Structure 1
Amino acid sequence: MKKISIIGSGVLGLSIAEYLSRGKKNGNEIQIISSNNPLAGSYAAAANLATKGQLFGRDKHFQVKLDAKKCYQNWIKNLILEVEVDLKIKSVFKLGLGIDFFSSHYNRDKQYKRVKQDDDELKNKNLPLDFILKEGERKIKYQQEAWVNSFVLMQLLTDVLVKRKVNFINKIFTKNELEKLSEEGLQHKIIFCTGAWTESLLKDLEIPIPDQMKKAKRITVGTTFYGNNIFENYSEEYVLMERVAENMKTKVTMSGPIDNQSISASTLKIDDINVFDETDLLEKNKELIKLCSESFANDPYLAKEKIKNLEYKTGLRVGYGHSELVIEKLNIKCDQLTGYVCAGAHKSGFLFAPMVGTQLEKLF
């Protein structure tokens, strides 16, 4: 039996625990330790699995993103079957089209040139040649986008883990807790999945920061709004719609099927996870709502009167360089303890969820 402690109960922590508790691995003694911070990024994610970002292929986990999307539906199907809940797969995960709206023909063509790769590159990545298409004067259409209901997926994972007897512990992981584990005299793996708090936690535990986390860091705080049936002219075939402002720096993202939708925007960069000006965030959110309400090319798709009734969640996200997934072994000075860090940039944790366990296990 292997003893495993996963620090953090976001989507990556839950997904890793799900992988490490499967079938023959079920002999592992797994515990998830989390303080359930109200600003946790996983609980404030729109969880739109935008494929267009994959076309850049800037990090070593490019193929993992594509592989994860291919197996997402079967992964969720198996989770539903295991706990025997009355859930339709399409209420948790949905494939569909994506579309971007721009303020002008010029801005649309500028973005198209930035994201469209030539046919040879697409062929090399086994992506269809019609993956990105211009539509009308101000739109770009994307094939094979996807969306996942973040709340339902995380509850589903939690239910599966409880059934598999994974232990959930609600507390802050401190240096004292680390010392207790080292004194047990057992071989123990510790996996840190603490998002924006990972670096500060490792410093508190006096564990050296891994190399990949030393790259240019970007910490942001953002709000996601939730509601039902809030978009007009939103066809069932779409799962992702983005409106891009004239300055091309601000955008608002609408995702989900008709009966379960979310709205999120470019996030606000902050320097300290413990200190941020809520006034600045409120102003950013006003900008988001304004952008939602505007009409480009007479294509209104948001019912203005419903905006004020939306629920919302705010959370912190982090990214390191161009890597959308950081998985590294840690240098813990204790023979009994082996440590790892696993962090998804911004909302990428959901994109990697079905595959993150296999990627981590390669380091074991």
Structure 2
Amino acid sequence: MTEYWFRTIVLPMIRTAAKEAEVHIIAPPGPWRLTGLTDAMLKTCLYMPELHWHILDDADHTSYRTRPASRDDFVDFVRQIDADYTFCRSADVETPARFPGKVRFIMEATFMPLVPDHMPFHEWVMIHDGRGLYDHGMLPALTEAQHVLLREHIRPIWDSLVASGGDCPLVRDTYLTAAGLPTDRKIIAVPLEYDGPENFFNVLHGIGMTNDKLVAALAEQIDDDSLLAITVHPIQQQYNPTAVQRIADMDPAKVRIVRGPGRRNLLTSGLLRHCDGAIVQDSKSIINAAFFEKPILRLSRFATADWLNVYDDTTSFLTDIAAGTARAPSREDAMTWLGYHHANNALAANELPDEGLKALLDRVDRPVDPARWEANLARHAESFVDWLTNGSMPATTQAAA
């Protein structure tokens, strides 16, 4: 848990729960690799003296970011608290699985390309049961009427994005020239995940390759008619620039970092609009690629829904890309999935104190509940009110797409 996550996501949850429940907060001290409980975080909670704090400041406190050195002792301690519900921001899912009560994980829930400019990127979160932490695109059994409801909720927002062009030229050659990419080769987009010092999710769940090693391995496999177009996570340059530089120093005939056109946090959407295929790991960019109906190679330990039509074999993917026969996901399915995601899963943490504890616990007790869809879809539509009213994105939000 970084300070940003505490302030933006965890603190509203604490405020919500503290009004109606006994709240215990367990965390190691920080900052250590940008994570942990700091004095600044504690000070924001001084007005809630009823909170119970458990700061794990023993000699092994750094191990709580991955696997506790004294796991059995830690689990015994948590069992003494005997919570009914536990919400974790934790890369370690094995240890919390031994906790009493109902245990859930707090995960990011914002998926490009349909993110309004005025909404903080991490405002949406989802409460995950920890199984298949990075399974992507999963849907429950839906009726045909539900498919239509969810898909048609997203369609006008998508149509507004397409009509405006967002922050990206609509003509492929114009975009590629502006991005410093060739117009006569297959462009394979590789949106890199952040692999900075505090990404313990990557440490525990990734495929075991740093960004630069992954790109180098892929560069050895592509032919002379293809090029890897790399987008770098917005905070990668700040916290782990050495890997970025190693990629920048690679053969430009094989690898190029895309630095424009458009704003830094929107480069991947522009690239995915005009590439020939995409290679992802556990990145949420997989949904972004699906909206643009791009063939996808996924390198991951986690499952992917059938509708995404992903490849899991690099050779087959590259062969089909070269031949122009690669399979791709359907945009219609992508719209259904995103509609379901916001109807059922996504939760605005900053609205929780007003909604109350029941709204939070409902996500645990009823993981799939069509009874909440109408209200959640209405709230989601409100965040796109300018798009839906004007038929296209206003000038202040065009770059966000």
**Range of TM-score over shorter length:** under 0.3
Higher helix share goes to which structure? 2
Higher strand share goes to which structure? 1
TM-score normalised by the chain length of structure 2:
0.23
Which structure exhibits the higher relative contact order, with contacts defined as CA atoms closer than 8 Å and separated by 6 or more residues? 1
TM-score normalised by the chain length of structure 1:
0.24
